[in-house]
Chains A and B, each alone.
Chain A
Amino acid sequence: MGTTQEQPNYYEILGLAPGATPQEIRQAYLEAVRRWHPDRNKDPEAHEVFLLVREAYEVLSNPVLRRDYDQRMGFEGPITHTEPMTGTIPTTQVPHLRIRVSYETIPALDEPQVWYALLNITSPWSEPEQPHPVTLWFVLDQSNSMRKDGKMALQKAAVRTALDTLRPQDRVGLIGFHDRPRLLLPLTPVKERGTIESALEDLRPAGGTEIALALALAWRHAQQRLSQREVTAIWLFTDGRTYGDEEQALQLAKQWAKAGVICDAFGLGGDWNESFLEDLTAQTGGASYFLDSETTARQIIPEKIERFHFATVRRAQFDFSLAPQVELTGLYRMSPEVAHLPTASPVELGLVRGGERWLLLLELRLPPLQGRVSGQTYRVLYGQVRLTPWGRGSVHEERVPLHVRLGERAPHKPPRAVRHAVERLTWYRMQRASREALHHGEPHKARALLRHLAQRLTQRGRLRAAARVKQVERRLRAGALPSPEDEKALEYGTRLLMLPDRADTVRRRRRTAS
């Protein structure tokens, strides 16, 4: 064995979560065999996947081997992947915040060091019986470039997918934009589908991409009818870059965050500015997505809308202050939707529905600590999570004290959940770094990063993701630049990998309200 290997996560390979029942394991195994058997699947990867699948089943189907394996992997004890709550269990006596850190004790070094904390936050309230009303503003791109590659059709299909999931009483409004925005449809109940469809047909490409103006128009309309009893969201669809008005758009997003309005963004094609969309949506607790096909739309959109309908909180915020010279170098929401959150307090966390939790990874850079006494406690961050309920209940606050003891580092491994989260973050960053290297004219470095990334992904049983990375690497080796779509696929592919456990292999079947 090499020194750096970890065992593959057999649960992940079968698309399961630790704690799966023997029936689930058997079922998942049979499905995986049907899919990956080399006689059926001609993908060059299929053979390897098949071997892994068999290996996984051999271990997980044997109670003794499975127990040993779970022990070795630290899957025992409380399983972090919670099942949906039934909605009747009072959960107030359960703690709603669990903090895990990379090391409980750190040495007082004369150089800076990195320290990680993972916050697992659950809502004290359960899912509502009746869905919350939703008001959804679609801000749709009708710039000229939308003519190409079926992007306009994809955009419309995405809107229709949303309409199919929304309830008849929910309301939608449509704004189309190119150089200037236009109200295509004022707020209209979803049950008036004909009216909405004909407005959608009005969407015709012309002109450029001016996002801030369009968002401002959406805000002007949304503001007129804001209610604390419903979820209001603004969904931006775009295939392009906006120039010079990013700051304006971000300022707007800050206002939305204050008003509890969520903004999500969907990028089409390869030209849109992902960091801008990410910053924009993260301000409001939303998320950004790469919409490459109708399949993706069907995977993302209904899930998001049901999260609005069955949100267990009205709002969730995290505010904090850092010790002197401590730097929050990264704040990531790993669950329920992956996002790179702003590192300035307060931060909007977005919504969860029953059975979901927020998982936040904090990367902190601590200053040199020499001169401090061993055994002393060093407070790194002090903060609180504020959860606002629907209706009249009082705000639930969880204090987040992050401190660490100074002394000899204990010989333990960091907790599995922390390792897991940081590993995924590392993958994501490697992919980003490779693209940066490429843009700085260092193709060699870019390829090395991708090669390593493919290797790591393979080791961890993420073979499809590894195949995607290798494909891009091969293209680079042939001297070609990756297409913008390749880059987006990599970006959002590795971002999906940041989701805990099985989320990128099997999507949980969601309860749709009857």
Chain B
Amino acid sequence: MIRCPVCGATALEGSLYCSECGVPLWEQDEVREESRSPQTETRLLDSCPAQVELWLEREDVTVVLPEPGPWELGRATKDVPMLAEAIRPRDGVSRRHARLYWENGRLYLMDLSSTNGTKVNGQRIPPWHPVPLHDGDVVQLGRFRFHVHLIPREQT
């Protein structure tokens, strides 16, 4: 059996796409091999200690970010397609607006010098200056709002 690296569903060896979430499994050879060893479990645990979910307020959609990041957020980036899709022109979101990434076990958000700026919990953050994010933080790209949820990974 192999495990889908995105949604964790199991599939028969030789499967090319995950039947639950549709992501390619043929690209995941290395991940697959590694994910069996306990060290890489820990490595993944170290690099992304929690699963990041974005709750899009207006759409009421929860987007689970594919691991391990980093994720570029914006209306023309493809790292988080659901987000790019939900953004409307009048939201004032730049094509590449902000970057979200894990570093040393913390999740950071950095504004990529966007036209209309980025706010965290209502506070404007300066461009090119990473700020740490916490569970429940509300992020605003231009006028587009979402909530960040960190789902801790279960320790095995």
Contact = CB atoms under 8 A, between A and B. Distances in A.
A430 interface: yes
Contact of B81 (A106, A113, A426, A455): A455
B61 to A, nearest CB: 7
Contacts of A47: 75, 88-89
Given A3-B27, A4-B23, A115 B1 contact: no
Contact of B17 (A45, A422, A433, A466): A422
Nearest to A452: B21
Contacts of A458: 81-82, 84-85
B77 to A, nearest CB: 9
Interface residues of A, number: 49
Contacts of B154: none
Interface string A10-30: 000000000000000000000
Interface string A114-134: 111000000000000000000
Judged by DSSP, the binding face of B is loop
B20 A113 contact: no
A425 to B, nearest CB: 8
Interface in A445-459: 448-449, 451-456, 458-459
A113 B26 contact: no
B14 A103 contact: yes
Contacts of B76: 51
A454 B61 CA distance: 12
A102 B19 CA distance: 17
Contact of B20 (A109, A419, A449): A449
Contacts of A427: 22
Interface in A310-355: none
A514 interface: no
A414 B89 contact: no
A3 B88 contact: no
Instruction: Using C-beta atoms within 8 Å of the partner chain, give the interface range for chain B.
Output: 35 or more
Interface string B79-120: 111101100110000000000000000000000000000000
B14 A426 contact: no
A78 to B, nearest CB: 22
A287 B60 CA distance: 39
Contacts of A215: none
A48 B22 contact: no
B14 A413 contact: no
B26 A114 contact: no
A84 interface: no
A365 B26 contact: no
Given A4-B6, A449-B20, A109 B88 contact: no
A95 interface: no
Contacts of B80: 2
B15 A114 contact: yes
B14 A114 contact: yes
B16 A422 contact: yes
B1 A111 contact: yes
Given A419-B26, A456-B22, A109 B31 contact: no
Nearest to B61: A451
A38 B89 contact: yes
A369 to B, nearest CB: 11
Nearest to A102: B16
B5 interface: yes
Nearest to A424: B17
B151 interface: no
A189 to B, nearest CB: 50
Nearest to A3: B66
Given A38-B89, A419-B24, A458-B85, A433 B61 contact: no
Contacts of B68: 3
Contacts of B20: 430, 448-449, 452
Interface in B122-151: none
Contacts of A158: none
13 contacts: A1-B78, A2-B69, A47-B75, A113-B12, A114-B12, A114-B13, A116-B16, A423-B24, A426-B17, A426-B18, A430-B19, A455-B82, A456-B23
Interface of B: 1, 5-7, 11-24, 26-29, 31, 60-61, 66-69, 71, 75-76, 78-82, 84-85, 88-89
